Structure 1
Amino acid sequence: MAPLLLFFGLALLTLASPPPENSNGLQPRAVSETLADILDNLRDGVNVDDIKQSVLPDFWSIPGTDEITKELGLNETGIRALPLEFLNIPGYANYTSQGWNVRFHGMAYKQPLSGPGVVSNHTLDEAANKFLPDFDISELQPHEQDNSRNLTSAILSLPQEGERLLFALNASGGRGFQGGWTGVVEWAKTTDSRGEISGFVQLPTNSENGLPDGNATNAMVVELDVHTNRTDTGNATAYLVPRDGITILSDIDDILRVTKIYVPKEGLLNSFARDFVPWMNMPEIFTGWFRQHPDSPYHFHYLTTTPEQATRVYMDFIYKTYPLGSFDTRPLNFTTVDQTFSVRRTLLNEIFQTFPNRKFILIGDTTNSDVMSNYPELVSAFPGQVQCILLRNTSATDPDNGFPYNTKGFETLKQEQYMFFTTPDDLRGLDFANGDCRNASARMGTVDFSWQGLPFEKSAARGRARGDMWAAVVVTVAFAVLL
């Protein structure tokens, strides 16, 4: 863990000093020292556990709108001149006796670093370089430079409090459903101090075009187009998910795309500069599942704990590469300790509670300690809902991975309920509707329900005692860092 903390410490260095504010309240030249203050404030948001789950540090402690505008030298006139944007996270809807309830989740914001006239490309490049140690943005390809600038601008966006939002809805036609239903939802409250909205809304109904019956046998997942007023950046799709059926719920980093969070320098380049690329032929496997049962298709749900400001690129990648589905990401506003320190488990609990009759296929990888503990815990927390846990054994497929992982949580699970795999082809042929969870032809190896992937553990000469010693060292160091 120490190299990761050192790495992020080196990444958040300082810049130079700001020029005076111009008459419009905007600064076209470098505002280096002020950006340095903002980036320095991010240090408190870097949490050891979060670094293990995502290549990006935890930005929930990023300064608020007032602080950022002050540091960038923007006045009210300058802020008003910026267009309002909205990150609309594709949601899911469950069916109840009162009809469909749709989960809305999103963030209203403005991006002062996103265009010319506010700050120069030079200033934005200086900020981007803080996330690219040992590299300069000038060394990247032109499209990689754009990737870095866009993500840096998103991270340093200004959440907009007090915005009132209206959503126009349209249920698309699909298999077994003609579509044509339309409705409007006005969010009951204005956006909070972090620019967010989050919660469920019961859909309005009308007598002309009804919505599908979510209790019907072999009911389909229906797409609901969601358009946000006042901006063209807030369009998304929500999914009307039937009461019964199967949901494939997957993590993203190092299971659906190549991230290499276990190699920090590579991880940051893969997230801040390079185009996202799928891990091997995983899209082919997901496409096979999407087509597997056309009369009763699976629902796909994607979950990442990457901070909300940085998730637009994740969603764009998923929807161009994998089957369409709902999405969960790390929120900015927290009201409970669990939401703050157990983000993934909180999001998992919410979707499991929303769909108590559905079966879940959980997909992740062994480098993610949250997944390694949360997934098996869900088996006992929600009896009968977890059908399969499928985990990529990253240590077995990438020699650069030095992260140990603990399989202790799987000891009480039935063997046929989980599978550790090494390539996407190990998943080929699994038919979840028929109860499949393990591929007998795949090389799954042995699970001894303890720490695995420890340094030197493959050396027989060091024996089991050496592995036990390293387990103790790992735990001791983790506690020392966290305290």
Structure 2
Amino acid sequence: MPNLVSKALIAVGLKNNDQYSNIKRDETVVFFNTSAWLDESAKLWNIPIHGWVYEPQNSWTLRTLIRRLLARKYGLKVTPDTKHNFKRRLNLFIADNERRKRLIIEFKGQLYALPKSKPNGQFEGIIQVPSSKIRANKHGLIEFKAILKPSDSRVIKGTMKLIRPRGVSVISDIDDTVKKSFINDHKKMFEAAFFKDFKPVTGMPEVYRKWQEDGADFHFVSSSPWQLYQPLKEFLDEFDFPWSTLSLKKVRIKDETFLNLFKSGLVTKPIAIKAILNRYPDRKFVLVGDSGEQDPQAYAKIAREHPEQIVKILIRNVHADPNLNSSYSDVFSGINRRLWKTFVYPSQIKLDINSL
């Protein structure tokens, strides 16, 4: 396995127990779900810790401006039923990112200092632990927590998963693949994103749970921004999707990464997907997406570059287009026809994880 760990990301082990995170009480810390990979030759688990530090914002002025814009352009209005969603999701998007924050975490009784947070408020570090010292629960999950100042009584925990070098993993899109997002209809898209409760594509939670029972691990890769991580995770938990990592877009209103919000998934998703493939070179992968964006094009390119890892591509036919298969003949040119399949209803998916 190639060296996938930058020295700048390695967390520093601490022996002094009086070390604390420099987090203020009015700042929020969110740990994102991550998955660890095993370096078999070194007998080391590489455990990524990734999260976000921000100060919540409650800007009535900005919310009013955006509310009026959406009402004028799309006829969308905030109602008593949608007020909570609109306020919360927009406030997350305009939150004040906190830079240069140093998180101290406790993992298996050891303290580690993570690299400081960047201008977008995100921090990333990798803990390296001998495999002989790691023991997870039956689902492979391990918890860790932030070490805060004695005056801060909050308990802030994160969860990561040990994923073995061999097995089957599912890399899935979210919008219009497992969540109704209406990406190709701007009015419905903004309504679903900022106003309404998130709703699953009927039947997809059941399909994913069955795959989980058969031993699959899961990674969601989406074009949604990291600011919506918490609502998205709550949606996945509410509808009992399998535990998963999430890879989202880095978007910051104050710099050029704001343009990432409008970048095609054909540009942003392959980077995240290839990072997962590189961490687990001996695992087999099922890619699941939809016809509403450019998932087929992105997945076809990845399948050509990683033919030994990609064993199935499933594309949800969002508009029930009867000619979709023929229109994809060029997209999947040179790829075995048995490798990819389109479906309108999840019941049409016939996939035996154990046979892969």
Q: TM-score range by the shorter chain?
A: 0.7 to 0.9
- Picking from 33, 38, 53, the partner of 1:95 is 38
- Are 2:236 and 1:302 equivalent residues in the alignment? no
- Picking from 404, 420, 433, the partner of 2:354 is 433
Quote how far apart the aligned CAs of 1:325 are.
Answer: 1.4
Q: Matched residues in 1 for 2:184 and 2:270: separation?
A: 22
1:128/1:152 contact within 8 Å kept:
no
- Counterpart of 1:351? 276
- Counterpart of 2:249? 330
Alpha-carbon spacing, 1:130–1:234, altered in 2? closer, same or farther (3 Å): farther
- Counterpart of 1:150? 88
Please list, as runs of the form range in 1=range in 2, the aligned pairs for 1:119-134 lying within 5 A after superposition: 119-120=59-60, 124-131=63-70, 133-134=74-75
Q: Specify the code of the residue in structure 2 equivalent to 1:326.
A: T
Report the structure number with the largest CA radius of gyration: 1
Identity %: 19
Give the TM-score of the pair, scaled to structure 1: 0.60
Please give the per-residue CA displacement for 1:108-157, whole angstroms capped at 9, x wherever unaligned: 111121xxxxx55x7644444434531221xx233x21000001101111
Quote how far apart the aligned CAs of 1:107 are.
Answer: 1.7
Quote how far apart the aligned CAs of 1:397 are.
Answer: 6.6
1:168/1:226 contact within 8 Å kept:
yes
What is the DSSP-based 3-state SS (H/G/I as helix, E as strand, rest coil) of the residue aligned with 2:182? coil
Please give the per-residue CA displacement for 1:401-459, whole angstroms capped at 9, x wherever unaligned: xxxx75523111111111111101011x5212213xxxxxxxxxxxxxxxxxxxxxxxx
2:86/2:194 contact within 8 Å kept:
yes
2:102/2:117 contact within 8 Å kept:
yes
What is the DSSP-based 3-state SS (H/G/I as helix, E as strand, rest coil) of the residue aligned with 1:408? coil
Quote how far apart the aligned CAs of 1:226 are.
Answer: 3.0
Q: Specify the code of the residue in structure 2 equivalent to 1:414.
A: N
Quote how far apart the aligned CAs of 1:200 are.
Answer: 3.0
- Counterpart of 1:385? 309
- Counterpart of 2:292? 367
Q: Matched residues in 2 for 1:162 and 1:260: separation?
A: 37
- Counterpart of 1:184? 111
Q: Bigger relative contact order, structure 1 or 2, given CA contacts below 8 A and separation 6+?
A: 2
1:89/1:328 contact within 8 Å kept:
no
- Picking from 273, 296, 300, the partner of 1:376 is 300
What is the DSSP-based 3-state SS (H/G/I as helix, E as strand, rest coil) of the residue aligned with 1:395? coil
- Counterpart of 2:123? 197
1:372/1:409 contact within 8 Å kept:
yes
Q: Matched residues in 2 for 1:81 and 1:167: separation?
A: 15
1:221/1:242 contact within 8 Å kept:
no
1:166/1:185 contact within 8 Å kept:
yes
1:101/1:202 contact within 8 Å kept:
yes
2:70/2:76 contact within 8 Å kept:
no
Please list, as runs of the form range in 1=range in 2, the aligned pairs for 1:391-430 lying within 5 A after superposition: 391-396=315-320, 408-427=330-349, 429-430=350-351
**How large is the Cα RMSD of the aligned pairs?**
3.1
Q: Specify the code of the residue in structure 1 equivalent to 2:28.
A: E
Please give the per-residue CA displacement for 1:76-98, whole angstroms capped at 9, x wherever unaligned: xxxx9871112321011000124
Q: Matched residues in 2 for 1:233 and 1:377: separation?
A: 43
Please list, as runs of the form range in 1=range in 2, the aligned pairs for 1:247-326 lying within 5 A after superposition: 247-292=169-214, 297-321=215-239, 322-326=241-245
Q: Specify the code of the residue in structure 1 equivalent to 2:111.
A: V
- Counterpart of 2:27? 84
Q: Matched residues in 2 for 1:128 and 1:81: separation?
A: 31
How many pairs were matched up?
A: 315
Quote how far apart the aligned CAs of 1:301 are.
Answer: 1.0
1:125/1:149 contact within 8 Å kept:
no
Gaps of 5+ in 2: 1-22
- Picking from 51, 59, 68, the partner of 1:106 is 51
Gaps of 5+ in 1: 1-79, 114-118, 170-180, 214-218, 399-404, 436-483
